[in-house]
Amino acid sequence: MTAPLLLLVESNTTGTGRQFAARARDLGVVPVLLSADPARYPYAAEDGLRTVVVDTADDDALWFAVTGLAAVAPVAGVLSSSEYYVATAAALAARLGLPGPSADAVRAVRDKAAQRRTLAEAGVPVPRFSVAGDIAEAIAAAQWLGGPVVVKPVQGSGSLGVRLCRDRDEVADHAKGLLAATVNERGLRTPGVVLVEQYLTGREFSVEVFGEEAVVTVAKHVGAPPVFVETGHDVPAVLPAARAAALVDTAVRAVEALGLGWGAAHVELRLDGDVARVIEVNPRLAGGMIPELVRRARGVDLVGAQVRAALGEPVDLAGTPDAAGAASIRFLTAGADSVLADVAAAEAAARAVPGVVDTALYRPAGTAVAPAEDFRGRVGHVIAAGTAPEASAEAAETALTRGLATALTPVTPATVTPATATPATATSAAAPTAATVTPETVSAPVTARASVREVVPA
């Protein structure tokens, strides 16, 4: 009997993409990656993942690939771990009569301006905001809001393009850059508007929701403005009961108001006094290794739950009694232009800290890195587990400062040669490598613009 398939439309470049495929295999299902550029995901070749090369921005080409696969094996589910393709995956699942969220709801949620309007109309607390289609509108919005404002794209993830602007000139300059972009980092068209919002200074959290159930609240650590790079997470967050309840209640209300309620949703919020205000709702699993923290701290496998939901299997969010109780992650970023030195020694020092369960430096020794502007500027991580959040956080902080951070050697511009002076923000933690797979054409072109090829792992 032919094993059923789980179709994965593109992937995120770090974190859970690889785990989606692994969980599918554990359930006896064959994962198949549909991607325009499989080399973007080195794990695909490393793990021998079956891959079909197709223009995932072309609905006709994608459907042609899917029906071709379905002709030889049953398709049991469709998912994406990428923010940019969750709506595409939802639409394919619906077309195939398979489980998934509402594609229309996901599309609307991915537009942060539309999302904000819907939440505000439903009475869900959000920051004050305005949408701007040109520089003059952005400046006017900032003047109306008063004080520093946050200017960001209406679509995107990983803090890309999100910036605190303190005056008129900064607003104009950042809005100009965002509005000039016609495509995003995935080559997909951008809407041509920006979001200008009130700057909230309260602590930031996320609530991980599955269906309409809050699984856990996460304390988030964010770097210094003007950028908003996430530098760490603690699971679970330690909060007074009233504030913890406000975060959970607001997150679940937001998911319901947006018409989601299927699978995972990552809801980011900030406290404004005792009021929990939604920064954004993401119709997908959290990034930043949060699902791994939840698994270690609570014994809840959110990646496995998402895969099981897509396959129509029952989902258990109860957790396991042998879970640690708490887990923390800290990401390594450079405070100044630096070069990675003794990577092996830094990782060994981090692993020697009691409570540390995972460490990684994403680039080899000799790589030049710059201060992070978004998630792509993170150059490593350490994860610690413990019986309480305070213990796991302390272990992660210690392993970062006494371990991974020792790999960074600050440099002056004169000491870095042009060949090595590559900013960290220009390279993702899983940047494409040289040819790691051998493409084999398995079908004729669908149109002049699109063809479908299956990749044979090397």
Residues with active-site annotation: 284
Instruction: Tell me how far CA of residue 207 lies from CA of 212, 251, 280, 318, in angstroms.
Output: 11, 6, 11, 16
Q: Do residues 430 and 409 touch, judged by C-beta distance below 8 A?
A: no
The Cα 158–Cα 373 span in angstroms is 10
Instruction: Give the residue from 99, 35, 100 showing the smallest Cα distance to 61.
Output: 35
The Cα 71–Cα 77 span in angstroms is 15
The Cα 238–Cα 82 span in angstroms is 29
The token duo for 324 is 């640690």
- Distant-in-sequence, close-in-space partners of 250: CB < 8 Å, separation ≥ 6: 124, 125, 267, 269, 276, 277, 278
Q: What is the DSSP letter of 435?
A: -
Instruction: Give the residue from 383, 375, 320, 315 showing the smallest Cα distance to 355.
Output: 383
Report the b/e string of 141-155 with b at 16+ CB within 10 A: bbeebeebbbbbbbb
The Cα 398–Cα 382 span in angstroms is 10
Task: Compute, in degrees rounded to 10, the torsion defined by CA atoms 394, 395, 400, 402.
Answer: 100
Q: Do residues 101 and 123 touch, judged by C-beta distance below 8 A?
A: no
- Distant-in-sequence, close-in-space partners of 129: CB < 8 Å, separation ≥ 6: 113, 116, 145, 195, 196, 197, 198
Q: Do residues 340 and 420 touch, judged by C-beta distance below 8 A?
A: no
Other beta carbons within 10 Å of 433: 13
